[in-house]
A and B are shown apart, each in its own frame.
Chain A
Amino acid sequence: MDLFSNLALGFATAASPENLLFCLIGVILGTLIGVLPGIGATATIAMLLPITFQLEPVSSLIMLAGIYYGAQYGGSTTAILINMPGESSSAVTAIDGYQLARQGKAGTALAVAALGSFFAGTVATVLVAVFAPPLTVIALKFGAAEYFALMLLGLVSAIALAHGSILKALAMVVLGLLLGVVGTDIYTGTPRFTFGITAFADGLSFVALAVGLFGIAEILRNLEGEQDRTILGAKLGSLFPSKADLKAMVAPMLRGTALGSAFGILPGGGAVLASFASYTMEKRLSDHPEEFGKGAIAGVAGPESANNAGAQTSFIPLLTLGIPANPVMALMVGAMIIQGIVPGPNVATDQPALFWGIIASMWIGNLMLIVLNLPLIGVWVKLLKVPYHLLFPIIMAFCSIGVYSVNSNVYDLYAVAGFGLLGYILLKLRCEPAPLLLGFVLGPLLEENLRRAMILGRGDPTVFLTRPISATLLALTVIVLVVVLMPSVGKKRAEVFTESD
């Protein structure tokens, strides 16, 4: 079996003492930066690039990859503890994770997130090893029409994210779409809603938006009455999930892993959909949809598994085609080039030790992360005991540093402040930020692909129906719409709304 000899080569490479050390350094660094709100993997890897010049190519890539998935783990920690998602994927985790933390079950939420991530990471690594080439072929079948249909499906499903009124959820999606329009139109070069500020020419920063809407708004709300927080610190509850919790997470974890693996291979922003899609799916399938948004275990387990699986499989386009699926992957390409390896379709055959070493290190890294993270849960949870008047200035300082470090752009800081205020107002109006965030992320992709499909199709709208993948996705969208609008479901939603008030 070729696969086994390849994997053996991979593990032999990844398990050398030196590479194990760099893998460990990577995941620790990743966890730390993931835990610091706002500081993302992109900024950290960019800062560490010069250091990697001195290392062996395999070691440096293993370390950088470690930072990337370490940050995915760490990012959910801040999302759960302080409602501060650093990346689009952990925004969903914040919805139910933070509610669990408020109920004194922060330890449970963190453990569920870590276990879900580990399981998903393991499965996705196997997928990468066994199916990378055939999966690449499928990913390449996705053209503009297919992406448009996929994004449309995602947006329609976004309504299910909200646990309040459909009207408010729709309003939030639309507001998100509008905010996503800010920036230069890529087809004509026309600046839209930039108010002449060149710093907004490339659009509003996602990190600024997420940190402001979720994190800063939550801080403002907490400052209204500190006793709320003291209660939170007082009853921490058990650190580890109960048997019932574990049972509740198995099915969501399996489904999340499958969804995440599938979306992760799409290079055109499919990965951002994974955790949103998983949340929607779990809420639909749950016997207790009313628990979602109030601290449902499934609402943490599913999306966390999905985002970690997606993070692993997003290596597939990089490894098999040499094409980066996201900014972190672009940095990995840069790191490879500086080492004298130009990524392309031949990396697997030209550099087998590198290719399989990275794959093997993914699993080793995931193992290290779970070993590292489970005992750390106690430490993170203790953070909640820090008096809030000490904690919040620290959080805000780190946020500002983090947001600034992404683009070295002060306007991003103004955006954080502005969105913080907006988020607070929305909280007061009982409008939820998650659908807004999804609209913001998907809107530009939706528009870009719609217009591209129309250009490629010479203005013929039937391209969306004549291409089989696109037609299937559109059919699914219609089904979701029907389900949402059906009277019985509508009634169920109304009940949910009443209970939640």
Chain B
Amino acid sequence: MALHFKFAAIAATAALMGTSALAQGFPDRQITMIVPFAAGGPTDTVGRLIAEKMSADLGQQIIVENVGGAGGTLGAGQVAEAEADGYTILLHHIGMATSATLYRNLAYKPLDAFEYVGLVTEVPMTLVARQDFEPTDMAGLLTYLKDNAETTTMANAGIGSASHLCGMLFMQAVEAPIVTVPYKGTGPAMTELLGGQIDLMCDQTTNTAEQIKGGTIKAYATTAPARLDIFPDLQTVAEAGLPTMEVGIWHGLYAPKGTPAEATDRLSASLQKALADPDIAAKFGELGTQPVAADQGTPAALKAKLEGEITRWQPIIETAGVYAD
């Protein structure tokens, strides 16, 4: 009993010291940003670019730590259990919303386990095909699929990946039983597309833009709501008559539930500053994306986005009947 009391006292003192330290000015030491995917991937790149800019503004280094595995749920789970002091934050993408349905035994609840910092970017996707695939444009593809859906193959980078999500949307939009072929990651899938081993893929412009420019694959449409600056001639899925296929791989910044508002507000302010930086816009531009408008880099915007997306994806995933657990 005495021991318990002593422990509680120490904990309380520590908590008090924590708060006073915060009041004096968060942050006073380095911050760890968990990216729940492998280093070098598109999400990691977004995380590192934004971490570098935010570090400059916060006056403390943000260290990116990659905790990959299980579709990002391992890293997210780690942050959910981390100390809620603002020194551990999470950069996650659309998978935060889809994992709520894809994983039926998730150790944390995406809507309950986190505080929100803000949205970062929304990466558009492109529907692409091998160079010598018969249809020349989106209209041609839709006609072609009417007769040949069962012999048409579509790659994705594994269950829950961006390309898998887009593939599900595409198949539900065109109501065609295309053959889905999963790969372990985008690299192998793209290699097979380049080699002409597979017909279609829908992936983030981060991965497809350079190949489209190089003429090694061809693009039919973008899933963005408006045409892309880098490919002004590429029509949108809405123009092609498939408005339900609109999708972007949005990235958000989170902190563990219970993180003091001083910390999340400070992080959010820093994020908004970074999003307005022309250098970030230029670097994101190379990836075929752009930072969200500064008013989206807020806790409220991210919360609304996550809630909306969980609701949107639940029926889509349940219809497809694919689960990742």
Contact = CB atoms under 8 A, between A and B. Distances in A.
Given A144-B197, A189-B324, A342 B39 contact: no
Nearest to A333: B40
B181 A456 contact: yes
B135 interface: no
B95 to A, nearest CB: 14
B211 A322 contact: yes
Contact of A455 (B70, B181, B215): B181
Nearest to B322: A189
Contact of B187 (A45, A330, A458): A330
A324 B194 contact: no
Interface in B267-288: 282-283, 286-287
B210 A456 contact: no
B275 to A, nearest CB: 17
B45 A334 contact: yes
A21 B211 CA distance: 33
Interface string B149-171: 00101000011100000000000
B158 A186 contact: yes
Contacts of A191: 325
Nearest to A322: B210
A140 interface: yes
Interface string A200-221: 0110000000000000000000
A334 B179 contact: no
Contacts of A324: 40, 187
B25 interface: no
Chain A, interface residues (CB within 8 Å), range: 35 or more
Interface stretch (A46-54, A66-74, A483-491): A46-54
A309 B287 CA distance: 32
A239 interface: no
Interface in B302-325: 322-325
A184 interface: yes
A330 B38 CA distance: 9
Nearest to A444: B184
Contacts of A187: 182
A199 B74 contact: yes
Contact of B191 (A201, A321, A346): A321
Nearest to A452: B181
A198 interface: yes
A448 interface: yes
A143 B195 contact: yes
Nearest to A448: B184
A141 interface: yes
B7 to A, nearest CB: 24
B182 A186 contact: yes
Nearest to B214: A345
Contacts of B323: 189
Interface string B55-77: 00000000111111110011001
A193 interface: no
B210 A345 contact: yes
B286 A342 contact: yes
B146 interface: no
Nearest to A408: B67
A31 B70 CA distance: 32
A407 B66 CA distance: 7
A324 B38 CA distance: 13
Nearest to B34: A408
Contacts of B292: none
Interface string A455-471: 11010000000000000
B151 A458 contact: yes
Contacts of B63: 50
Interface in A135-151: 139-144
B18 interface: no
Contacts of A42: 39
Given A332-B40, A448-B184, A50 B48 contact: yes
A409 interface: yes
Interface in A170-204: 184, 186-189, 191, 196, 198-199, 201-202
A188 B74 CA distance: 19
A337 B213 contact: no
A458 B148 CA distance: 13
A198 B221 CA distance: 37
Interface in A92-151: 139-144
B11 to A, nearest CB: 24
Nearest to A198: B70
Nearest to B150: A458
7 contacts: A50-B64, A53-B52, A323-B194, A334-B41, A334-B44, A344-B209, A346-B214
Which 5 residue pairs spanning A and B have beta carbons closest together? A344-B210, A334-B40, A345-B214, A140-B195, A201-B70
